A and B are shown apart, each in its own frame.
Chain A
Amino acid sequence: MTGFLLRRLGGAALVLLALTALLYAIFYVAPGDVAQIACGPRCSPAQVAQVTEQLRLDDPVYVQYAHFLQGIVAGRDFSTGTGTEHCAMPCLGVSYQSDQQVTQLILAKLPVTGSLVIGAFAGWLLLGVGTGVLSAWRRGRLTERVLTWLTLAGSATPVFVIGLLLIIVFCSTLQWLPAPSYVPFTENPEQWAWGLLLPWTSLALIESAKYARLTRSAMLETLAEDHVRTFRAYGVGERAIIGRHALRGAVAPVIALSALDFGSMFGGAVLTESLFGIPGIGRELVHAVKVVDLPVVVGMVLVTGFFVVLANAVADLLYALADRRVVLS
């Protein structure tokens, strides 16, 4: 077990290292004059030269990359022109736009996106698995057909359509809910929950569709297996067969998919964040891409990658707990 954890962590670190190299190559090495971009379009050649020196862009690429890595594991110093500023580890650089440290920027956004993702995640798991169980149980009947149709419609509708519909119905027409906004949990937990209710719902509705289909097909597969026949032949009721024996077979694929979705949602909830005005990582990332704020882009993609890797490692562990035949090695 400990051996597995160590190997898994080592593997995760390697993946992240490869990701940094790739990102570095794409953003810093490929597109030409970084100094010009960093300085801004109206900089004079002298200013650009100054920035080049500040950012040490004259160094060979591998030295620059080594500095970048060093920042992550040990922290580094930045020249600000007037003096030096220390950027503590894990240092992901300094924003070209705001001169803010990227790490600080991300740490400020993380609780926002975290709130959105965790709530929506709970929602789509409950909704998706529940729908899947129900349609496996009611297979071949009207309930199943209606549910199948609904989940198809759910997965085919873009988030901004569902989100807009929800805003129009619940905020404008019925006026049951205030306009969505983000209030930190630490400030006012009640407003935090009300403000996020619609974003959670729209994300959950869309994501739950594939979970419903996955759960349904995994359960139908289990229901056709010999051991389900055994329990039927021993008078065990359909409810216990569905809830105890068939659902168990759906756990593993749901865990695997959850891990991918949960991790990638940290950088991928862009549309939801923009639509509902939530100042999270996704929205910041889009902004950073627009203004070519390279350190912010790289930092945020790296953080998203970190969550994907982390979620998958956790999934492997859960997987082994759920199915004791799995040997961790």
Chain B
Amino acid sequence: MTTRDPLVEVSGLTVDFGPVRAVDGLSFTLEAGGALGVVGESGSGKSASAYALLGLHRGTGARVGGSVRVAGTDVNTADDRELRALRGAGAAMVFQDPLSSLDPYYPVGDQIAEVYRVHRPVSRKAARARAVEVLDRVGIPDAARRSRLRPHEFSGGMRQRALIAMALACEPGLLIADEPTTALDVTVQAQILDLLHDLRHETGMGLLLVTHDVGVAAESVDEVLVMRHGKEVERGPVARVLGAPREPYTKELLAAVPRVETRRVVPVPPQRVAEDEAPLLEAVGLRREFGRGSGRVAAVDGVSLTVHAGRTLGIVGESGSGKTTLGRMLVRLLDPTAGRLRYGGREIGSLPEKELRSFRRDLQMVFQDPVASLNPRRSVGESVADPLRAAGESDEGRIRDRVGELLERVGLDPGRYERYPHEFSGGQRQRVGIARALAAGPKLIVCDEPVSALDVTTQAQVVELLSELQRELGIGLVFIAHDLAVVRQVSDEVAVMRRGVIVEQGSADAVYADPQDPYTRQLLAAVPALDPGLAAARRTARKELARA
């Protein structure tokens, strides 16, 4: 056998955005048919590296240095025509957000056909036929009819399948997938990863998978490259890097990844809930409807739960399961359509706003998006002071002192009172959000996806902070998240939601170790495993579950 050129050969790659060096001397090769995972946290330069493989920085003002050869094309020196010939035919890319990555105005099949005709001299009709063929191949049922639909008429998972179909159309030697499952629910993510896995084995194409999620990489690649600050930290076979990391950063990263197998670690065991201890918050048959007339839907359809002081209730579910609506009702940011909500023994579900005011300071909320939930035009100190002012505090000196204490308590420098949100990192902004929730001295905090916008290392710190505060202040927590592993790490009790109802509820250990509901089992089987051997086993389990 003659030696062949590698499919991808990158050497000394640099990408500069103005004064910022996003990629700093990256080198790697990928053999034909191989699969490489590029893993890193936000800002590590992983996506910028992937874009450089197709010359996508051209014309954007970014400066690219070093050399990149993909499928025989020297990307950095190729002219526009050669580059266009490579894009889509030699190497194809799948993007993160499948909705915005397709043109909203044209039918999906036409978009795939358009790309196909760029590279193959075929008639419009033949290109359309090819589009239907690849849509069928990626598992879109009734592909001929669906190819005439526009992207908004597809579900999230179907859209990502359609993008993969577009990538397959010209049978490229390399598939570059940039966070292909980040915008998807965990069960859909598992389906897409399984599809990529099967396609790779069937077509023999190479895969370069860019992801922040180590579990996703473990499921899909042979080799993994860990990036940080634009540089390679560690590279090697996936089982070795994830099983026996050599570099401190890799170890730190892996330690921070929440694992669904890991139960909550509590240094001091929480006080047992006495049989007769009254719950802090109790919901019975809570229901919330949206819309009018025939368009009326119940986002939450009869949910009953209890939250105890000093303990955490985790609520886990996929998008559209009603978990956010439920969370907002628990603190009365939304009015329940029906059902009862009792706080400290008093019915507050239908209390008018005026009488509710005295309860507002006890019930607080931390939101998902730390950027959008802070007013960008006010200093963080002012934002944290809001609940104090709302509670009637008017002494400026006392407010300042208290805000300083709160900022310090959540691990921020109290001297940054006058700073604005954009001067803080994502994790720090979430700390500000937590400080604001603490300001009024709450008894219960509902956290709605508090860490899902954060990198894993930051995620771990924020989770740690929340449980510290809980131990210290004895607050009851409701922790809403789509990530099963995170929920397990923080929760004493867990409720699994689907389509507005709780399908399973119990102690975290019981639900995770011995799930009773088929949906819970499906969810757990979909969680990517860090160990490639376990990942393969889970893949088999998924296929069995699907067949059953």
User: What residues make up the interface of A, taking CB atoms closer than 8 Å to B?
Assistant: 225-227, 229-237, 240, 244-245, 248-249, 322-325
Contact = CB atoms under 8 A, between A and B. Distances in A.
Contacts, number: 75
B114 interface: yes
Contact of A234 (B118, B150, B152): B118
Interface string B104-148: 111000010011001100000000000000000000000000000
A226 B101 contact: yes
Nearest to B56: A233
A229 B55 CA distance: 12
B166 A325 contact: no
Contacts of A240: 114, 118
A235 B119 contact: yes
Given A225-B100, A229-B95, A235 B150 contact: no
Nearest to A245: B103
B101 A229 contact: yes
B88 A233 contact: yes
A225 B105 CA distance: 13
Contacts of A248: 103, 105-106
Interface string B342-379: 00000000000000000000000000000000000000
Nearest to A233: B93
A234 B100 CA distance: 15
Given A231-B103, A234-B166, 7 more contacts: A227-B100, A230-B101, A231-B111, A235-B83, A235-B86, A236-B115, A240-B114
B332 interface: no
Contacts of B87: 232-235
Contact of A235 (B89, B103, B163): B89
Contacts of A226: 95, 97, 100-101
Given A233-B54, A233-B56, A227 B88 contact: no
B85 interface: yes
Nearest to B150: A324
A229 B176 CA distance: 14
B92 interface: yes
22 contacts: A225-B100, A226-B101, A227-B100, A230-B163, A231-B114, A231-B115, A232-B87, A234-B92, A234-B93, A235-B84, A235-B86, A235-B87, A235-B89, A235-B119, A236-B88, A236-B114, A236-B115, A237-B118, A245-B105, A248-B103, A324-B150, A324-B152
Interface string B45-85: 00000000010100000000000000000000000000111
Contacts of B307: none
B380 interface: no
B399 interface: no
Given A226-B97, A229-B56, A234 B103 contact: no
Contacts of B214: none
Contacts of A245: 103, 105
A230 B118 contact: no
Nearest to A234: B88
A62 to B, nearest CB: 37
B102 interface: yes
A227 B103 contact: yes
A178 to B, nearest CB: 45
Please provide the 5 A-B residue pairs with the shortest distance between their CB atoms, ordered closest to farther.
A234-B88, A235-B87, A235-B84, A226-B100, A235-B88
A325 B104 contact: yes
Contacts of B88: 233-236
Contacts of B95: 226, 229-230, 233
Contacts of B106: 248
Interface of B: 54, 56, 83-89, 92-93, 95, 97, 100-106, 111, 114-115, 118-119, 150, 152, 163, 166
Contacts of B166: 230, 234
A218 to B, nearest CB: 13
A231 B87 CA distance: 9
A14 to B, nearest CB: 22
Quick one: which of A231, A234, A248, A322 has the most chain B CB within 10 A?
Answer: A234
Contacts of B89: 235
Contact of B104 (A229, A231, A233, A323): A323
A232 B56 CA distance: 8
A171 B335 CA distance: 73
A200 B3 CA distance: 70
B468 to A, nearest CB: 39
A235 to B, nearest CB: 4
A124 B104 CA distance: 28
Contact of A227 (B85, B101, B119): B101
A244 B88 CA distance: 18
Contacts of B85: 235
Quick one: which of B83, B97, B105, B152 has the most chain A CB within 10 A?
Answer: B105
A270 to B, nearest CB: 38
Quick one: which of A225, A233, A236, A240 has the most chain B CB within 10 A?
Answer: A233
A235 B118 contact: yes
A230 B150 contact: no
Nearest to A222: B103
Nearest to B105: A248
A39 B93 CA distance: 80
B106 to A, nearest CB: 8
Nearest to B166: A234
A137 to B, nearest CB: 13
B64 to A, nearest CB: 15
Given A233-B93, A234-B166, A227 B118 contact: no
A244 B56 contact: no
A307 B517 CA distance: 62
B92 A323 contact: no
A234 B91 CA distance: 9
A50 B54 CA distance: 87
B46 to A, nearest CB: 16
Nearest to A244: B114
Nearest to B178: A233
